[in-house]
Amino acid sequence: MPPTMRALRKTRPGPGAELVEVPVPTPGEGEVLVRVHAASICGTDLHIYAWNEWAEHRISRLPMTFGHEVAGTVEAVGPEVHHIRPGAFVAAETHIACGHCATCRTGRAHICRNLRILGVDTEGAFAEHVVIPAENAWIVGEGIDPDVASVMEPFGNAVHAAFGTEGGEDLLTNPVAVIGCGPIGLFAVGVARALGAWKVFAIEPVDERRALAAAMGADLLVDPKVEDPVEVVLRETGGVGAEVVLEMSGNPRAIDQGTRMLARGGRMSLLGLPDGPVTLDLADQVIFKEARILGITGREMFRTWQQTTTLLSTGRVDVSPVITHRFALADFEEAFATAGSGRAAKVIMFPGGVPQR
């Protein structure tokens, strides 16, 4: 193994990043060293790259390697690692839990009080190698393409939102609305279809993303710039509304519309992050409906990962339409420009160059 590697690092405050040569990290106790096959760009990475207000207040140390959605091959293991061997192909659970707080001890490690994020609070994955905790390395099942493995983490967000806390039974044979068809919303369309939704509404203002939603199995595409999505959903469901609303946009108006298109007694999963407070009609659209409003963050560890593996390895969900662009890590500037254009879906980078397909 060479002593150094290339890594995309945030070296100073301000827009951009630098591809530099750094030492290959050594896995410590309970850690594994992963040779990165592919790492995909997340909205969080776009914030760090642009160095917006969120990044300025959230990132506490520079320089640092960022990036967190990753899959690759284990090359070395540290002391006290017994369940993973070199050669295993893994994807990373990016939420690093403390293991001892009240939420961790009651089976909710994904909302750990002391949570750290790979590539935000630790050295990240836009590099040729990355060190992760061994317990965060999920061995990728057979039948999952290596490129697809790099998006298992964000796909897991969609799986968690769709299944909710009750196993996703409320999607079966019911109308489902997905608001916001960025990558995770597109994944959610595929998951809802795989779980047996009767009719899947995809609500998205960008033409290219509505087209991708159709490729993922949406039955009805709604452009909120042209039509009122609440009126469309109510009309197409005979006035009943959607039994499940998966809100992925974080847009305050869209969140309000989500409560208005939700059926009485229905569930609304909120994963999109609004920039500020959101005004809702709690009396008529939540309380009197007995609506169930569920906040979603990350993936349940590791129930969601098992669900994700099953959906991908069996072919029940084909996420290939969502992976719209592939770049070599050396072409990171073009990769980030593409990811931030609003026209792309999932953009993945390869430290070893884009493999021939």
> pLDDT tens digits, the chain, 357 residues: what are they?
789 999 999 999 999 999 999 999 999 999 999 999 999 999 999 999 999 999 999 998 999 999 999 999 999 999 999 999 999 999 999 999 999 999 999 999 999 999 999 999 999 999 999 999 999 999 998 899 999 999 999 999 999 999 998 888 999 999 999 999 999 999 999 999 999 999 999 999 999 999 999 999 999 999 999 999 999 999 999 999 999 999 999 999 999 999 999 999 999 999 999 988 999 999 999 999 999 999 999 999 999 999 999 999 999 999 999 999 999 999 999 999 999 998 899 999 999 999 887
What whole-number distance in Å separates Cα of residue 349 and Cα of residue 357? Answer: 15
Q: Return the closest-CA partner of residue 314 out of 170, 169, 195.
A: 195
Q: Return the closest-CA partner of residue 127 out of 78, 63, 187, 77.
A: 63
What whole-number distance in Å separates Cα of residue 272 and Cα of residue 64? Answer: 26
184 by DSSP, 3-state: which?
helix
Domain map of the chain by residue range? 4-151+319-350, 156-295
The domain 4-151+319-350 is placed in CATH, from the list 3.40.50.10490, 3.90.180.10, 3.30.1540.10, 1.20.1050.10, at 3.90.180.10
Pairing state of beta strands 323-328 and 346-350? parallel
256 by DSSP, 3-state: which?
helix
Which residues does the annotation mark as catalytic? Answer: 44, 47
What whole-number distance in Å separates Cα of residue 167 and Cα of residue 48? Answer: 34
* Homologous superfamily (CATH) for 156-295: NAD(P)-binding Rossmann-like Domain (3.40.50.720)
